[in-house]
């Protein structure tokens, strides 16, 4: 059997607190091909962030293995660029310094100082944040912070880009704008992307496949949906695209009919 | 003040600004007429304290004006201690020096003791902030030791150093070190998981993590500790010098008391107060400069 580029195999995760064990994930297996854009969707608290953290190496799976490009993932590293749920920029550094911290670390041996500077600027320009390079995170808007977070992750040239609800805290207009930017970057660079989202439209618009998780506790992968819409995709045209509508209602059905969020489970 | 129990680790514990209280100003009433901006700020900020001061001086003058009063009135202070006031740089024999030299000698002791306390405090605070084992081992001991009054250390340090100067410096050190340790440790324990995750993804090594994440993230807390520490140092030096003698503002006060020069004591207290205030401001200014922009983004 040939392994996928990113391969999650039989991941179980349970947390233990004060001797009480709670199962969060059970038997999660998933293969992601190189260059593929995958979304993970599911209700709040089902374990999406936990799954992403396991791929990032920030959390250890209780059982199961993650392979990336043939290597076992057992610690965090710059080959998996993470954009965190709440941007996680360092507030005492400027926008430029936040990205250069990553670039200087990852390319300390392979790029000269001037090359590293150009590379930081390239990535800031990619998310159209070059103009604000000397601002501090507290001085830019939420959408801009998230863009810098994306630039920081991209600048590490990761094998896979992990996005944890990157646009969750943004207003609809900013969100649409950033979704377009991410699509464009994905088209340009061909990254492998794993994105967590709550938003059905976002999932269908951006993804090649949508992974739908059942509700916790002990969440599993309920269904994986192919999104066979040609790229480049334009949101206005998609609104009436029959495939888009079919995918969208499939996800909605899964989330709101078959796996409604059970309160106080 | 700096009473922070490390075992209670919560986001609310010891917010950096919580320890040092400055009374905030209420919003100014909208003025009916306009003055040039800086003149107005000056008037707003300088006039009230001057008026208060004048009022207090007048009240004091009035209360102590009788010839039999046990404390001198301001006019008598000026009269009796005029030489002391006008010539702070006077150089005489032994402890007979101008006010400047006494303050200078005290500041030197504080500088050495405080610098040592800052270094040791940040190092130990980092240790117990980072390591649960170190915290379990050291925190209970620190919590007990920090309640020992500064002057209680003096006889012990005199016995150990057999000399006044290092003993005074040690007292400063032991006074200032606790708030620095405790606040540094709290700051480091409160570093958000996000920042630690960033450093893990980038695979920062220990040194890089310390300088690029830990110190900046904990800086507001560390400076709170440093600011409390400088205040305590200045409190302690005056008391310690009363006992060890030599040139220094504390001994000057004690000496004046023994010579019944009450006016000189009052002049010295004014100096002590102003210098203490300035020390606090200096640390606050450094803190502002260093942690500039270090707000939650
Ligand atoms: N360190 C931990 N210790 C104990 N339980 C945890 C821990 N981290 C997460 N959990 C539990 O795991 C479950 C899944 O959490 P997770 O953050 O992965 O959810 P999520 O799907 O990302 O939710 P959201 O959409 O709200 O971000 C939750 O019930 C949470 O309480
Ligand atoms: Mg989450």
CB A206, CB A195: distance < 8 Å: yes
B residues 219..248 contacting A (CB < 8 A): 219
Residue B215 has φ and ψ, to the nearest 5°, of -60, -50
Q: Does B196 touch chain A (CB under 8 A)?
A: no
Residues of A in contact with B293 (CB under 8 A): 91-92, 136, 138
Q: Which long-range contacts (CB under 8 A, 24 or more apart) does B74-81 make?
A: B76/B263, B77/B263, B77/B266, B77/B267, B79/B263, B80/B261, B80/B263, B80/B264, B81/B261, B81/B263, B81/B264, B81/B266, B81/B267
What is the ipTM, given to two decimal places?
Answer: 0.86
- B98: exposed, middle or buried (Cβ count in 10 Å: 0-12, 13-18, 19+): middle
* Ligand 1 atom closest to the CA of A17, numbered from 1: 4
Residues A241-252: pLDDT tens digits?
999 999 999 999
Residue A49: CB within 6 Å of ligand 1?
yes
Under an 8 A CB cutoff, do A80 and B201 touch? yes
Residue A40 has φ and ψ, to the nearest 5°, of -115, 125
- A240: exposed, middle or buried (Cβ count in 10 Å: 0-12, 13-18, 19+): exposed
Residues of B in contact with A58 (CB under 8 A): 197, 200-201
Q: Torsion-angle region of residue A72: left (phi > 0), alpha (psi -120 to 50) or beta?
A: beta
Residue A242 is encoded by which pair of tokens? Answer: 């029959």
Residue A197: CB within 6 Å of ligand 1?
no
* Ligand 1 atom closest to the CA of A16, numbered from 1: 4
Residue B243 is encoded by which pair of tokens? Answer: 């006992």
Residue B29 is encoded by which pair of tokens? Answer: 């009433």
Q: What is the pLDDT of residue A177?
A: 87
CB atoms within 10 A of CB B236: 26
> Which pLDDT band, with edges at 50, 70 and 90, does A32 fall under?
very high
Under an 8 A CB cutoff, do B295 and A138 touch? yes
List the strands of the sheet with A192-197, edge to edge: A80-83, A160-164, A192-197, A37-41, A209-213, A221-226
Residue A156: closest CA among A186, A128, A123, A180? A123
Residue A17: CB within 6 Å of ligand 1?
yes
Residue A108 is encoded by which pair of tokens? Answer: 């300390």
Helix axes A95-106, A113-126, angle to 10 degrees: 130
CB A204, CB A251: distance < 8 Å: yes
Q: Which residue spans within A18-105 are E strands per DSSP?
A: 20-32, 37-41, 63-68, 71-72, 80-83
Residues A134-192: pLDDT tens digits?
999 999 998 899 999 999 999 999 999 999 998 887 888 888 988 998 999 899 888 99
Under an 8 A CB cutoff, do B297 and A89 touch? yes
Q: Point out the residues of chain B with pLDDT beneath 50.
A: 1-5, 7-19, 31, 295-297
Smallest CA–CA distance, residue A248 to chain B, in Å, is 33
CB B161, CB B167: distance < 8 Å: yes
Choose, out of A90, A104, A163, the residue to mutate when testing the contact with B (most B CBs < 10 Å).
Answer: A90
Any residues with CB less than 8 A from the CB of A226 and at least 6 apart, and which?
A: A208, A209
Q: Does B295 touch chain A (CB under 8 A)?
A: yes
Residues B108-158: pLDDT tens digits?
999 999 999 999 999 999 999 999 999 999 999 999 999 999 889 999 999
Residues A107-139: pLDDT tens digits?
999 999 999 999 999 999 988 899 999 999 999
Cα–Cα distance, A237 to A61 (Å, whole number): 41
Higher pLDDT, B185 or A217: B185
Q: ∠ CA(A128), CA(A133), CA(A135), 5° rounding?
A: 120
Q: Which residue spans within chain B are E strands per DSSP?
A: none
Q: What is the pLDDT of residue A172?
A: 86
Q: What is the pLDDT of residue B29?
A: 52
Higher pLDDT, A85 or B293: A85
Residues of B in contact with A106 (CB under 8 A): 202
Tally of CA atoms within 13 A in the half-sphere of A171 that contains its CB? 5
The DSSP 8-state label assigned to residue A249 in this structure reads H
Under an 8 A CB cutoff, do A92 and B219 touch? yes
Q: C-alpha distances in angstroms, B288 versus B141, B232, B279? A: 32, 20, 14
Interface of A with B (CB under 8 A): 56-58, 75-78, 80-82, 84, 86-92, 101-102, 105-106, 136-138, 145, 156
Cα–Cα distance, B76 to B70 (Å, whole number): 12
* pTM of the predicted protein model: 0.80
Look up tokens 């496949």; give the residue: A209
Residues of B in contact with A161 (CB under 8 A): none
Tell me the average pLDDT of chain A: 90
Cα–Cα distance, A168 to A80 (Å, whole number): 21
Question: Taking residues A43-64, what's their average pLDDT?
Answer: 93
Q: What is the pLDDT of residue B295?
A: 47
Q: Which helix (H) or strand (E) holds A225?
A: strand A221-226
Q: What is the pLDDT of residue B8?
A: 39
Residue A13: CB within 6 Å of ligand 1?
no
CA of A56 relative to ligand 1 center, distance in Å: 15
Cα–Cα distance, B105 to B246 (Å, whole number): 9
Residues of A in contact with B16 (CB under 8 A): none
Q: What is the pLDDT of residue B14?
A: 39
Cα–Cα distance, A79 to A165 (Å, whole number): 20
Residue B5 is encoded by which pair of tokens? Answer: 């129990």
Residue B286 is encoded by which pair of tokens? Answer: 């450094």
Q: Does B294 touch chain A (CB under 8 A)?
A: yes
Q: Does B288 touch chain A (CB under 8 A)?
A: no
User: What is the rounded (10 degree) CA torsion for A211, A216, A220, A222?
Assistant: -50
CB B279, CB B234: distance < 8 Å: yes
Q: Torsion-angle region of residue A218: left (phi > 0), alpha (psi -120 to 50) or beta?
A: left
End-to-end CA distance of chain B: 27
CA of A251 relative to ligand 1 center, distance in Å: 22
Q: What helix, strand, coil percent values describe chain B, rounded to 5?
A: 70, 0, 30
Residue B59 is encoded by which pair of tokens? Answer: 């009240």
Higher pLDDT, B29 or A73: A73
Cα–Cα distance, A211 to A225 (Å, whole number): 6
Residue A60: CB within 6 Å of ligand 1?
no
């Amino acid at each position: 059997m040939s392994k996928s580029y990113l391969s999650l195999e039989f991941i179980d995760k349970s947390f233990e607190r004060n001797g009480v064990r709670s199962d969060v994930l059970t038997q999660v297996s998933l293969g992601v091909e190189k260059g593929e854009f995958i979304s993970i969707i599911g209700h709040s608290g089902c374990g999406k962030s936990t799954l992403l953290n396991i791929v990032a190496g920030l959390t250890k799976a209780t059982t199961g293995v993650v392979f990336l490009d043939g290597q076992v993932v057992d610690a965090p590293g710059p080959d998996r660029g993470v954009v965190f749920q709440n941007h996680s920029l360092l507030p005492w550094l400027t926008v430029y310094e936040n990205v250069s911290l990553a670039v200087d670390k990852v390319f300390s041996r392979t790029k000269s100082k001037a090359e590293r500077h150009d590379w930081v600027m390239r990535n800031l320009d990619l998310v159209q944040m070059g103009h604000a390079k000397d601002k501090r995170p507290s001085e830019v808007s939420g959408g801009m912070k998230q863009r810098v977070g994306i630039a920081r992750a991209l600048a590490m040239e990761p094998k896979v880009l992990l996005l944890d609800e990157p646009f969750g805290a943004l207003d609809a207009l900013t969100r649409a704008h950033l979704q377009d930017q991410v699509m464009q970057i994905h088209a340009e660079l061909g990254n492998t992307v794993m994105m967590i989202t709550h938003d059905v439209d976002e999932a269908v618009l951006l993804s090649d496949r949508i992974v739908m998780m059942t509700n916790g506790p002990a969440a599993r992968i309920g269904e994986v949906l192919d999104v066979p819409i040609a790229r480049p995709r334009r949101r206005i045209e998609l609104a009436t695209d029959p495939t888009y509508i079919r995918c969208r209602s499939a996800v909605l059905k899964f989330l709101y009919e078959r796996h409604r969020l059970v309160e106080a489970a | 003040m700096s009473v922070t129990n490390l075992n209670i680790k919560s986001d609310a514990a010891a917010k950096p600004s919580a320890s040092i209280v400055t009374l905030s100003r209420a919003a100014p009433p909208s003025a009916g007429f306009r003055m040039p901006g800086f003149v107005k700020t000056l008037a707003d900020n300088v006039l009230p304290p001057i008026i208060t001061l004048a009022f207090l001086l007048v009240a004091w003058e009035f209360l102590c004006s009788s010839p039999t009063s046990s404390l001198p009135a301001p006019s008598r202070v000026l009269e009796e201690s005029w030489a002391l006031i006008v010539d702070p740089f006077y150089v005489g024999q032994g402890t007979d020096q101008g006010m400047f030299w006494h303050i200078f000698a005290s500041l030197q002791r504080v500088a050495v003791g405080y610098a040592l306390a800052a270094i040791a405090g940040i190092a130990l605070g980092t240790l117990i902030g980072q390591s649960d084992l170190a915290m379990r081992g050291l925190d209970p001991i620190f919590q007990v030791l920090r309640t020992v009054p500064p002057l209680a250390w003096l006889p012990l340090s005199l016995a150990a150093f057999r000399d006044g100067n290092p003993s005074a410096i040690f007292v400063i050190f032991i006074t200032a070190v606790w708030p620095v340790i405790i606040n540094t440790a709290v700051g480091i324990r409160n570093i958000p998981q996000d920042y630690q995750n960033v450093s893990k993804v980038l695979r920062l090594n220990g040194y890089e993590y310390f300088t690029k994440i830990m110190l900046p993230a904990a800086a507001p807390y560390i400076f709170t500790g440093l600011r409390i520490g400088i205040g305590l140092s200045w409190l302690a030096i005056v008391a310690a010098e009363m006992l060890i003698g030599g040139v220094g503002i504390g001994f000057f006060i004690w000496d004046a008391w023994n010579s019944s020069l009450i006016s000189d004591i009052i002049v010295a207290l004014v100096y002590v107060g102003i210098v203490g205030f300035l020390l606090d401001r200096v640390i606050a200014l450094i803190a502002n400069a260093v942690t500039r922009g270090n707000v939650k983004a």
